[in-house]
Structures are given as C-alpha cells and as structure tokens.
Structure 1
Amino acid sequence: MSGDRVPLMAQPLRPPSAGRAATLLGLLVLGAVVGIAGALVQPAWFPGGLLLALAGEAGLVLGASRATRGRSGGVAVAAGWMIMVILLTVSRPEGDFVFAAGSGSYLFLLGGIAVAVICATFGAGRQPDGGSARLRK
C-alpha cells in the first residue's frame, strides 16, 4: 500500500443514503409484485408460463443489479420475490391456495430461488472510485 489511500474494503460500512434506501425498498416491492405475477402466470400456460415467470424474475434481478451498480438491487428484488412466494404457499382458512401440488409449482419455487441467487451474484461488487490502473505506467 502506498500513500494515504485506504482500501475500499477496509473502510467501515455506512448506512445507505435516503435515496438509496427508498430505491431498495421500491425494488423489494417490485420483486414482490413479480413474484405474485409469476405465481399466477406459471400454472396458466404451462410450460411457457413457467419460463416466462422465471425469465421475468431473472431480468428484473439483473436489471436491478445494473441500475444500482451493485448487488444490493438484485438482492432486494430477490428478497421481495422470495418473501412473497413463501407467503403465497400458505393455505388460507377457507382452504384456498395459490400453488397446487404439482411439478410446475415446485419447478417455479425451486427454479425461482436458483435464478434469484444466480442472477443476484452477477451484479458488480463494491469497486473503488477512480481510473483503472495499469502495471508499468
């Protein structure tokens, strides 16, 4: 290490700004909406609905990661999706439920979790500000 620059990963974490927190909360809600839409679309047009639901989730998670320039956007969308889908698996007192006990529902649940984790890790990690460095400048 040279000079007075402290590596980015060695700096203490700060709470996010109000704008970033609002953005992440909005992405959490958007992930929940996509979870509801996917739960309704996937049994209607099987197997095309399943593929459409998973592709929509993947696009939203990747888009949120790119929009926030970090993994936090993708994680917020994935968290909203997972929370909503888990809440939809619970049967209601009337006996109604959203997910039937079939292969399509299990593929949507497990495939959606896998897609969310894979796509959320594709987001860029914390990068230092400044220009790119080259050896032997």
Structure 2
Amino acid sequence: MSSRQRPRASSESPRTNAPPRSPAPTGMAAPPNPARIPVYVGLVVLGAAVGLAGTLVQAALFPGGLLLALAASAGLFYGGRVLTGTQLGALVPAVGWFVCVVLLLGGRPEGDYVFGEEIGLALFLLGGMAVAVMCATMSRLPFQANDTGRPGT
C-alpha cells in the first residue's frame, strides 16, 4: 500500500453522491413545541391588554390616539411573529385583541359603551384587522445581519 492511495470511504468523510435530504417540516406540519405554549398564552393576554388600551386611547384622543393604538397593535403583532418565528405568533395576539375589542363593543344596559365615535370604531376595527393580516401573511422574516450563513465565521 503506497502513501499516494486515496483514503477509503468512512463515516467521517462526506459523500458527494448522497441523495438530497428532504427539508424539515414547517408551519402546521412541524411537530408542536411545548415550550411555545406559555409564549402563546402570554401573547393572547398582551393582545387583550393592547386592545383594551387601544380602545380607550382612540376614543379619548381621536386622530392621534387612533394612530397610536394601531401602531401599538402593529408592534405587538409583528413582535409576536418575530418572537416565535411563525405566522401563528402574529395571529395569537390578534385573537386576544379581537376578542377584547368585540367584548367592549357590547356596551352596558344603560346604553354606554367604550367607543366614542362610530368612525373611530370602524377605523380601529378595520385597521387592526388589516394590520394583523399583514403581519401574519408576510412572506418571511428578514435574516439577522450578524449571520452571514457561512460556517466557521
């Protein structure tokens, strides 16, 4: 055996003619991660809190309060998406937000309800739902700037 012979194939050397691997399942096909359940519960509670605060702010300070409430909702929905890395991360706080806002629409037997003007109510509901849909249907999250994708760097 000479020193110029090729080394024999072993389990440590990579195979160049290996078939491509199937990608790992993502989305609803991925196996559930039990560590995310408390995160989702927290996002529902935060969604309800932002819905309640947004309802009060948009009714009190109509033009600016409405923009502030929608910006807070957008920040929560996008933050949930980035935190979990899934579309469900944007939808879960939107569900909490929507349930809270719909419950506040019911009003009281005396005829009072939280929303001040009908135009503010319509813009808050439609704007919040539109923001939730936009955050949930984004194509993909941006990559982090410090990850170049090259191994060993």
TM-score bucket (shorter structure): 0.7 to 0.9
Residue number in structure 2 paired with 1:128? none
- Within the alignment, does 1:15 sit opposite 2:12 as a pair? no
Residue number in structure 1 paired with 2:101? 85
Q: Distance in 1 between matches of 2:103 and 2:19?
A: 52
Q: Is the 8 A contact 1:46 1:104 kept in 2?
A: yes
Query: Which 5+ residue runs of structure 2 have no aligned equivalent?
Result: 1-17, 142-147
Q: Distance in 2 between matches of 1:41 and 1:101?
A: 12
Higher normalized contact order (CA 8 Å, seq sep 6+, divided by chain length): 1
Q: CA deviation at 1:48?
A: 0.1
In 2 relative to 1, CA 103–122 (structure 1 residues): closer, same or farther, beyond 3 Å? same
TM-score, L = length of structure 2: 0.71
TM-score, L = length of structure 1: 0.79
Number of residue pairs aligned between Structure 1 and Structure 2: 126
Q: Distance in 1 between matches of 2:64 and 2:29?
A: 46
Q: Is the 8 A contact 2:59 2:114 kept in 1?
A: no
Q: Distance in 2 between matches of 1:20 and 1:7?
A: 22
SS of the aligned residue for 1:43 comes to: helix
Residue number in structure 1 paired with 2:40? 24
SS of the aligned residue for 1:124 comes to: coil
Which digits, 9 at most, give the CA deviation of each residue in 1:3-35, with x for residues without a partner? 373333489542331x20110110011011000
Point out the structure with max Rg over C-alpha. Answer: 2
- RMSD, matched Cα: 2.5
Which residue type is aligned with residue 70 of structure 1?
T
- Within the alignment, does 1:46 sit opposite 2:62 as a pair? yes
Which of 56, 74, 82 aligns to 1:66? It is 82
